[in-house]
């Protein structure tokens, strides 16, 4: 078992259910999570127009949550965090569009081609917000958030500096959804992890999941919802996010 501590000073969750989108934000300044409607056309207004035009809903939803997590420009401390970006399917809508163009002998869209790369969004974000620290892109199936959390904790402990975990996935196009299934809700999540072992921090314990107890049927969407519900409420002392081979248990630091 691995036991680590971190402070989650800011987190944001964007959800889109049948085009009824909402944004939930919680910061150390406002300990209560605040949820309000989110208009799709207003997403990612913090991006420079040239970069915003290159992004579709996938990138704009991720940018909206990331903007809530980065420290304000007038903060006394310059913000230059490491970023761990994870997504199970990536920008699958652009990929499906490219495959259709190939199948029908159409000319490929250079913009769609460049923005379909798995780390394309986080590259845009780094340029837009002048982030010069490293960024990591992860895809690990249903364990994508689990793998992203593992990488985030490792980088935070190694660098002793803030690391932002960012996760995003949208519903699969019909051509894939009918075969693979998956959540019907678009979701983007970002959280700021800072090294600490005091105050309003959380304890993270990692365990190997025995094969016969594997929770592989639990999706990254379920992991995000379980984590954010735990962070938004003090009703529970801990939450466990179980994957195919690894489980993270998150508990409040003052909980025995």
Pick the CATH number of 7-199 from 3.40.50.2020, 3.40.47.10, 3.40.50.620, 3.30.70.20: 3.40.47.10
Residues 6 or more apart whose CB falls under 8 angstroms from that of 176 comprise 92, 96
Tens digit of each residue's pLDDT (9 = 90 or more) over 6-20: 999 899 999 998 778
When pLDDT is averaged across residues 193-213 and rounded to a whole number, the result is 75
Residue 256 has pLDDT above 50, yes or no: no
When pLDDT is averaged across residues 106-126 and rounded to a whole number, the result is 89
When pLDDT is averaged across residues 128-145 and rounded to a whole number, the result is 93
How far from 137 is each of 89, 121, 122, 148, 192, CA to CA, in Å?
A: 12, 10, 8, 8, 16
Give the pLDDT of residue 243. Answer: 86
Please, what is the average pLDDT of the chain? 87
Q: For tokens 């990254």, what's the residue?
A: 220
When pLDDT is averaged across residues 40-63 and rounded to a whole number, the result is 92
Count how many residues are written for the chain: 256
Give the pLDDT of residue 115. Answer: 86
When pLDDT is averaged across residues 130-157 and rounded to a whole number, the result is 94
> What is the rounded CA–CA span in Å between residue 194 and residue 172?
33
Tens digit of each residue's pLDDT (9 = 90 or more) over 75-88: 666 688 999 999 99
When pLDDT is averaged across residues 142-170 and rounded to a whole number, the result is 95
- For 163, other C-beta atoms within 10 Å of its C-beta total 26
């Amino acid at each position: 078992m691995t036991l680590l501590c971190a402070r989650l000073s800011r987190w944001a969750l964007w959800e889109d259910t049948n085009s009824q989108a909402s944004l939930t934000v919680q910061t150390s300044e406002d300990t209560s999570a605040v949820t309000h409607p989110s208009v799709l056309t207003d997403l990612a207004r913090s991006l420079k127009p040239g970069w915003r035009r290159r992004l579709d809903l996938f990138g704009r939803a991720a940018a909206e949550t990331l903007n809530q997590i980065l420290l304000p420009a007038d903060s006394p401390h310059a913000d230059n965090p490491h970023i761990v970006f994870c997504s199970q399917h990536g920008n699958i809508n652009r990929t499906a569009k490219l495959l259709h163009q190939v199948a029908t002998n159409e000319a490929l869209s250079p913009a769609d081609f460049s923005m379909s790369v798995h780390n394309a969004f986080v590259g845009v974000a780094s340029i837009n917000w002048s982030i010069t620290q490293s960024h990591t892109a992860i895809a690990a199936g249903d364990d994508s958030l689990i793998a992203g959390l593992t990488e985030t904790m490792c980088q935070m402990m190694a660098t002793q500096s803030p690391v932002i975990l960012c996760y995003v996935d949208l519903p699969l196009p019909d051509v894939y959804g009918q075969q693979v299934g998956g959540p019907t809700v678009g979701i983007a999540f970002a959280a700021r992890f800072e090294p600490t072992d005091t105050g309003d921090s959380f304890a993270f314990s990692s365990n190997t999941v025995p094969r016969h107890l594997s929770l592989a049927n639990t999706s990254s969407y379920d992991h995000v919802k379980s984590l954010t519900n735990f962070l938004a409420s003090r009703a529970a002392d801990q939450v466990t996010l179980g994957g195919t081979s690894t489980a993270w248990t998150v508990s409040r630091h003052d909980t025995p």
